[in-house]
Structure formats: structure tokens, C-alpha cells
Structure 1
Amino acid sequence: MNRFFVNAADVHLPTNEITIAGEDVKHISKVLRLSEGDLVEVCDGEKYGYIGKIKRISKQEVLLSIEEQMPLKTEAPIEVILYQSIPKATKMELIIQKTTEMGIKSIVPIITSRTVVQFKDDKDKEKKVERWQKIAMEAAKQSKRGVIPSIHFPLSLKEALQKAQENDLNIIAYEKEASQGIKGLLTSLVTENIKKIGIWIGPEGGFEEEEIDLAKDKTIHSITLGPRILRTETAGFTVLSILMYVLGDLGG
């Protein structure tokens, strides 16, 4: 069954109806060729999922009658934020797609000393974020997520470090870290109190030592991912997989 996302305000419980608007209208009518009486899944992006039956299709909206309401059960018990140094080419798109499938809550693109990607201006950044957000939405639909991960406006490392102080735990992957791994770190912590975690991944050339020192000053834990050097598009998957297995819902 096809899944769509709406705002909570588009769910009208008094009339037992849901309104779908925007690009999904054309997708429903022209691409999927659905019609009155067909069933679709809808998520409000917050607490509930719905089975809706198509009542009416117009150029502006699709009106559904609510056939069933159920609480969302596809979101992990921990909130993981990926602070990803922006990589070259389409690597960022791959990172967004796969981490969305694995349960990431949000992604903050960061600009570091060795970030190669350059933006012309804020408008260029906004265009990129719009593209990345669309990729997250499509991945969320495909993987039956109940929430679409939010893709933030690109930040400098210092800006991101400041905002990350609200997280319960922050870990930064660093190839020169020799002693502390994720397993050892988690063993030393009271994990029951950890609900919001930040993962920090460097660009193709890695973080500079000064950036690692800056992160440590903000109580971010430096970790090793083993004796092999992982690509920037692989490192985030690896850390997220481990966290979701140990603290989340990966593996049941």
C-alpha cells in the first residue's frame, strides 16, 4: 500500500477525513493512477498512521475518509542526529537515503576546514537542502517510516557544536583515536538516560586536529571505528548501525 505524509493539521478527526495536497496529488492521480475507493497509508509525522479511502480527487487535493487509525510503531526509542561534513558529488544523497532507512531523526550538514563542496550563497544552500529533504521524504516512504527526518540548513562546525550541547551524548569518529571505541564508551555510561545522540562524521580528508580539540572542549567523545579507514559515506552508517543495535530497535 502506498504511503504518504501530511501535516497533523490536514487530519480532520471531527469529519473523519484527511486532505492530501501538493506534489502528492499528481503522483496519486497521474503516476499511481489511483481512483475513488482505493486505499492508501497516511502518516501525520507525529504520533499516528492512518488507512484512508479515496473519496475525491481534484487538481488541488485528494480527500480521504479515515478507515483506521493506529499509533506509529516504526520510530526508534532513541533520537539520533547525524552531523555530516558535506562530501563531494552525490555521496550526501546516499547518506541521507540510507540513514533515513535506518532510523535517523535529523541530519545537520556541516562545513569543516577540509570540506570541498562550496556554496555560492544562501540561495544555493536552500536549493540543496530542498533537494536533500525530498530524498529523505522518498526514503521515509519506502522504508515505512512514521516521521520524515529533517535536513537542516548547512552550519559551520562551531555553529553545529554549539547547538549540539542539548544532546545527551555526542561522539565523533576520528582516525587517530587509538583507545576508545563505541562499545567501551557505551559500557562506561548509564545508557538508560541516553535518548538523544549526535554522530559527527568528517569529510573525505577527515577532521583536522584543531577541530577534534574544539569538539572535545565541547564534551564530544572521540571514538575509533577500528584499524581500517572508512569512507565518509560509510562511517555514518557504521556508527548508526551500532547505536541502533545497542540502544535502538535494530535487530528486534
Structure 2
Amino acid sequence: MYRFFTGREQIIDGKVHITGDDVNHIRNVLRMKKGETILISCGDEWEYTCSISELSEDEILADVTDAQKPGKELRSKIYLFQCLPKSDKMETVIQKAVELGAFEVVPVSSKRCIVKLDQKRGKQKVARWNGIAESAAKQAKRMIIPTVHEILGFREALEMAKEMDVKLIPYEMESGMSRTREIFSSIEPGQSIAVLIGPEGGFDEAEVELAKEAGFSSITLGRRILRTETAGMTTLSILMYLLELD
């Protein structure tokens, strides 16, 4: 069953008013007809089962037939601070982060990042990344569309993470898996979590020290060196497993 996102204000008297790009997608790409069923999310815990009642060029109307709280979101908000990787790896990172339950992805420009984006190109990239996040959210049947934040500098990222309850920085020079297990097992549902992942060249040592001073716990993900796009997925997978436990 296909899922679409609308604003709460688009549900009026038991009908959902679908506008924008989704109109073309429903009519011309999916070729859906009256009476077919879709799911609607408004960015909160509610999910609406709806039956398409009218299709026009500018708007689609769907009758709400059921409302439920499926509990598909993780019990903690996870913010993935991802240092900019090369080529199109960021697209993969965002797609998989959304599938794994991240609440927000924050691109970060750090010292060893090979990719350098000016303001114009940065805005274009962020717009594209948000489109990828929306598509991934629909595919994964998320209740929300995770936001891809504007690109931040390293110190700006640390400042943003300042008020978060748990702050993790996987670091290839760290050792001691037992300590990492203790840190993961101490996380409680409801706590906000920041995960800071370095670029291909890793973090500069001074950056790691700055992160520690800002309250980040340096952890290891094992004896093997993981690629930047793998490290984030690994950390999010562990957190998803722990936070999904009943």
C-alpha cells in the first residue's frame, strides 16, 4: 500500500486533500483509480487509511476510512551528523539512515572532507538530499519525513549537539568493546542521540578532542576499519535494535 505525506491542515471533514507532486505521481505514474486505498501520514504518530474518491489535474481527494497509531517510529530521536563523503555516497547514507529510523541527518564539513561545497551548490545538494529522504520515508513507511539539515561546520555541529542526551563519535583509534557495549546499553528510550561520523580520511585528532570536550563519548565499532558510509549504518543499526526492544 502506497504512503503519502500531507499537512494536518489538508485533512478537512474526513477528507484528505492531496496536492503538489503527489497528484502527478498518483494519477500518471501509479495510475491509481477511484476506490483504491492509500496511507496518509501528517508527520506525527497517526496513520490514516484512505480511499481515493476524486482525481483531478490539481488535486486528489481521499476519504479517511481508518486512523491508527502503528508505533513505527523509534522511541528516541537520533541525529546523524555525517561528515561529507565523496561522490554520491551521501545519497546512500541518507537513504539508509532514514530506513534505519534516523530523525534528522546533518551534513558536516570537517577538516579532512575532500568535498567542498559553496553556498549555492550546498543548497542544491541539500534540496536533493531532502527529496531522497522523502522517497526513503515513503518506502520504509515512516510516520515522518526526516529532515536533512543545512551543511554545518564542525564546531557548528558540536554546538547543535550540545543539548542532546547521548553523544557518540565512532573513532578508528578507539579500543575497548566492553566500554562501547556499556555505553550503548545505558541508553534509555526517549533520550535524544547524536551520532558523529567522520569522512573518508577520518577525523583530525584535534576534532576528536573538541568532540570529547563537547560531551561526545568516543566508541569503537570493532577491530575492522569501516568506510564512512558503513560506520553510520552500523551505529544506527545497533541503536535501532536496542530501541525496538519491547
Band of TM-score, shorter chain:
over 0.9
Distance 1:33-1:235 versus aligned 2 partners, 3 A rule: same
Residues 1-252 of structure 1 aligned to structure 2 (within 5 Å): 1-12=1-12, 15-120=13-118, 122-179=119-176, 181-187=179-185, 189=186, 191-192=187-188, 195-246=191-242, 248-249=243-244
More deviation in 122-131 or 83-92? 122-131
**Cα RMSD for the two superposed structures:** 1.5
Equivalent residues of 1:172, 1:222 under 8 A apart: yes
Give the CA deviation at 1:167: 0.7
Give the CA deviation at 1:186: 3.2
Question: In the aligned structure 1, how far is the partner of 2:183 from the partner of 2:35?
Answer: 53
Normalised to the residue count of structure 2, the TM-score between the two structures is 0.95
Question: In the aligned structure 2, how far is the partner of 1:193 from the partner of 1:26?
Answer: 39
Q: Structure 1, residues 216-235: CA drift from partner, whole Å, max 9, x if none?
A: 11011111111110000000
Q: Structure 1, residues 11-70: CA drift from partner, whole Å, max 9, x if none?
A: 22xx11111111110000001111222211111111211111112112211111111111
Equivalent residues of 1:168, 1:194 under 8 A apart: no
Give the CA deviation at 1:179: 3.1
The one-letter amino acid of 2:169's match is I
Normalised to the residue count of structure 1, the TM-score between the two structures is 0.93
Question: In the aligned structure 2, how far is the partner of 1:234 from the partner of 1:159?
Answer: 24
The share of aligned pairs that are identical, in percent, is 41
Give the CA deviation at 1:178: 2.2
Which consecutive unaligned segments of at least 5 residues does structure 2 have?
Answer: none
Corresponding residue SS for 1:45: coil
Equivalent residues of 1:11, 1:44 under 8 A apart: no
Equivalent residues of 2:46, 2:70 under 8 A apart: yes
Which consecutive unaligned segments of at least 5 residues does structure 1 have?
Answer: none
Corresponding residue SS for 1:192: coil
The one-letter amino acid of 2:126's match is V
Q: Structure 1, residues 167-214: CA drift from partner, whole Å, max 9, x if none?
A: 101000111112364303234x4x337611011100000000000011
Equivalent residues of 1:8, 1:46 under 8 A apart: no
Distance 1:5-1:220 versus aligned 2 partners, 3 A rule: same
Give the CA deviation at 1:123: 2.4
Question: In the aligned structure 2, how far is the partner of 1:150 from the partner of 1:99?
Answer: 11
The one-letter amino acid of 2:137's match is A
The one-letter amino acid of 1:230's match is L
Equivalent residues of 2:130, 2:147 under 8 A apart: yes
Aligned residues: 245
Equivalent residues of 2:76, 2:189 under 8 A apart: no
Q: Structure 1, residues 120-155: CA drift from partner, whole Å, max 9, x if none?
A: 3x2221111111111111111111111111100000
Corresponding residue SS for 1:117: coil
